[in-house]
Amino acid sequence: MNNCHGCVTCKSADKVLESFIAKLPLETSHHRVESQKLKCSFGLQGVCCRLCANGPCRITPNSPQGVCGANSDVIAVRNFLRAVAAGSGCYIHVVENVARILKQTALAKGELRGLKALDRLCDMLGITGVDSYEKALNVAEAILTDIYRPDFEQMQLVQKLAYTPRYQNWQKLGILPGGAKAEVFKGLVKSSTNLNSDPVDMLVDCLRLGISTGVYGLLLTNLLNDVLLGEPKIRFAPVGLRVIDPEYINILITGHQHALFAHLQNSLMKSDVIKQANDAGAKGFRLVGCTCVGQDLQLRGVHYSEIFGGHAGNNYASEAILATGAIDVVLSEFNCTLPGIESICETLEIKQICLDDVAKKANAELKQFVFDEKERISDEIIATALETYRVRRTKVTLNLLKTHGNDNTLTGVSEGSLKEFLGDSWTPLVELIASGQIKGIAAVVGCSNLMTGGYDVLTVELTKELIAKDILVLTAGCSSGGLENCNLMTPQAAELAGPKLRAVCEKLGIPPVLNFGPCLAIGRLESVAVELARLLNIDLPDLPLVLSAPQWLEEQALADGAFGLALGLPLHLGLPPFIAGSKVAVKVLTEDMMQLTGGRVIINSDAKETANILENIIMEKRKALNI
Round the average pLDDT of the chain to a whole number and report it: 97
pLDDT of amino acid 249: 98
Domains of the chain: 72-229 (1.20.1270.30), 241-392 (3.40.50.2030), 412-624 (3.40.50.2030)
pLDDT of residue 594: 97
Distance CA 422, CA 565 (A): 29
Using pLDDT thresholds of 50, 70 and 90, give the confidence band for residue 142: very high
Q: Are 109 and 131 in contact (CB under 8 A)?
A: no
Q: Which phi and psi (to 5°) does residue 202 adopt?
A: -70, -35
Could you tell me how many residues make up the chain? 627
Which of 421, 389, 390, 602 has the alpha carbon at shortest distance from 516?
Answer: 421
CA–CA dist 196, 186 (Å, integer) = 11
Summarize pLDDT for 277-319 with one digit per residue, the tens: 999 999 999 999 999 999 999 999 999 999 999 999 999 999 9
Using one digit for the tens of pLDDT, what is the confidence trace for 514-553? 999 999 999 999 999 999 999 999 999 999 999 999 999 9
The closest of 44, 6, 265, 259 to 136, measured between CA atoms, is: 259
Return the pLDDT at 3. Answer: 53
Contact indicator for 48, 75 with CB cutoff of 8 Å: yes
Residue 468's pLDDT is 98
Pick the closest to residue 484 from 222, 229, 256, 289 (CA basis): 289
pLDDT mean over 61-84: 97
**Res. 6 pLDDT band, cuts 50 70 90:** low
Q: Give the tens place of pLDDT for each residue, 565-613.
A: 999 999 999 999 999 999 999 999 999 999 999 999 999 999 999 999 9
Residue, of 363 and 200, whose pLDDT is higher: 200
Amino acid 221: pLDDT: 98
Residues 408-430 pLDDT 10s: 999 999 999 999 999 999 999 99
**Rounded Cα distance, 601 and 82, in Å:** 19
The alpha-helical segments, DSSP class H, found in 108-220 are 115-125, 132-147, 158-161, 164-173, 180-190, 199-212
Share of the chain above pLDDT 70, in %: 99
CA distance 122 to 141: 12
CA dihedral (350, 447, 81, 37) positive or negative: negative
Q: What is the pLDDT of residue 8?
A: 87
Q: What is the mean pLDDT of residues 245-259?
A: 98
Per-residue model confidence (pLDDT) at position 547: 98
Q: Is the pLDDT of residue 160 over 60?
A: yes
Q: Does position 361 have pLDDT exceeding 60, yes or no?
A: yes
pLDDT at residue 1 is higher than 70:
no
Question: Which residues contact residue 464 at a Cβ distance below 8 angstroms, ignoring those fewer than 6 apart?
Answer: 488, 496, 607
Average pLDDT over residues 456-483: 98
